Structure 1
Amino acid sequence: MNQEDLIIKSSTLGFVGTNCYFVAKKSASVPVQGIVIDPAYDGKKIYEDLKAEGCVVDLVLLTHAHFDHIGGACELCELSGAPLYCHALEKRLCEDTEANLSADYGLPCQVQPDRFLEDGEVIRQDGLEIQVLSTPGHTEGSCCYYLPKEQVLFSGDTLFAQSVGRTDLPTGSTEKLMQSIREKLLVLPEETRVYPGHMDTTTIGYEKRVNPFF
């Protein structure tokens, strides 16, 4: 398969402008069954918009547990019946409203993942194979999701177009972030299409050439 074999729907949600993704394998069948990554805000709207487009949510993945990535998770999971997965090292931010920054905005938010993921784990869902890449730095439990057959990466707040994630928030580390990017992301094929948590898409090859942080 290649990138053209995927359906990737993107919506930018919340006042921080977080990218929420729906990912599915292209199929002639209806409804289209797939995965939501980082339901940032208003889970009901995410659910209803996807339903109106003939899409069913079977799984919800978090790249990390900052408030602007989890705000719609509980409602989306409740409406869809989909389980919620997150990296095991992100447990504190899932539970601590100060650490996940939601308390700072008067919108305390917690999530209770149905399963905690480990580095290198492969998720098989709806015909997709997704590798869990542990990428600590933005937060201790940040991770990216890589589809090797399609050469697609969902990078959360680890890697952006011509930038990288900030590291001055709870559990962040600049040293770990740069190590994660060097050892886990820049080794991927240059054609890999990167779908970040904020701003525009990019590719690994382009970032290796122009990103000022490398």
Structure 2
Amino acid sequence: MAEKETNVGMFTLGMVGTNCYFVFKENQEDPEGFKHCILFDPADQGQRIFDALTEKKFKIDLILLTHGHFDHIGGVDKLREITGVKVGCYIKEEAICKDKYLNLSNDFGADCAVSPDITYNDGDIIEAAGLSCKLIATPGHTSGSCCFYFEKDDILISGDTLFDESVGRTDFPTSSTSELIRSVKEKLFVLPDDTVVYPGHGEVTTIGHEKQYNPFII
């Protein structure tokens, strides 16, 4: 089997160990020798993320958010200030990104709010950095939670919707347990079993593994 051209890198940042991913084409470089990437959920320390990526010869072309909780957006404003890159989210999550009470930052002393530059609808195809992914609306953890699916590469950035043998919490503002379970069953478990799931916290898993072993989805 041919080696996949699309790779996923990761930082784990912030007070609750949030996974921040950057997705890129391995064999594509610009004339200056930089690989271009889409960055997902810059959790904290935007300057540190920028410095680390620059040192490894990466440039961010777009920032995408799986949802608006403070532990997934803490590094956004600094990165946007440094790079001028645009930030996108699912349209139903825009209000949570902007509200420090709904995004929980007020509860944790982070006082963080982000105004996205771009909003997308369920099913929209997003293209950047030579990549293409589809936004899949997966309400439950928040009312506007979403995942990003790279169909050609069997990659799913799942945010806090689906974890390794677990799911996201539903005791927050706008959360719904029934919606989350429905989202996983109807939106994610229909994806190919070998789809690799990159969650917002914890270890990487696959759709096939979660269909068989996730005790929260029955």
TM-score range, shorter chain: over 0.9
- Provide the secondary structure at the position in 1 that maps to 2:203: coil
What residue number does 1:21 align with?
21
Distance 1:20 1:212, change over 3 A: same
Identify the residue that residue 107 of structure 1 maps to in structure 2: 110
Count residues in correspondence: 214
Task: Note the alpha carbon deviations across 1:88-120, whole angstroms, 9 max, x for none.
Answer: 111221111111010112220110100111100
Gaps of at least 5 residues in structure 2 are: none
Match of residue 141, structure 1, among 141, 144, 164:
144
**2:6 corresponds to:** 6
From 175, 186, 197, the counterpart of 2:178: 175
1:200 and 2:203 matched: yes
Change (3 A) 1:3 1:41: farther
CA distance in 1, matches of 2:206, 2:103: 28
Q: CA deviation at 1:81?
A: 1.5
Partner of 1:31: 34
State how far apart, in whole Å, the 2-side matches of 1:147 and 1:28 are: 17
Q: Which letter maps to 2:148?
A: Y
SS of the residue aligned with 1:4?
A: coil
Gaps of 5+ in 1: none
Q: Measure, in 2, the Cα distance between the counterparts of 1:204 and 1:113.
A: 29
Q: Does residue 1:97 correspond to 2:89, yes or no? A: no
Deviating runs (4+, > 3 A) in structure 1? none
Confirm or deny that 1:83 pairs with 2:83: no
For residues 216 and 97 of structure 2, what CA distance do their matches in structure 1 show?
A: 29
1:27 and 1:180 mapped to 2: Cα distance? 34
Task: Tell me the SS of whatever aligns to 2:181.
Answer: helix
- Cα deviation, 1:133-182, whole Å, max 9, x if unaligned, reads 00000000100000000010000000000000111100000111011001
Q: 2:71 aligns with which of 54, 68, 92?
A: 68
Aligned match of 1:52 in 55, 66, 71? Answer: 55
How far did residue 28 of structure 1 move? 4.9
Alpha-carbon shift at residue 26 of structure 1 (Å): 1.4
Q: What SS does structure 2 have at the residue aligned with 1:49?
A: helix
Which residue is 1:41 aligned to?
44
Correspondence 1:127-166 to 2 at 5 A: 127-166=130-169
Using the aligned pairs only, state the percent identity: 49
**CA, structure 1 residues 202+3, in 2 after alignment: closer, same or farther (shift >3 Å)?**
farther
Q: Aligned partner of 2:97: which letter?
A: C
CA RMSD of aligned residues (A): 1.3
Distance 2:28 2:146 in 1: 31
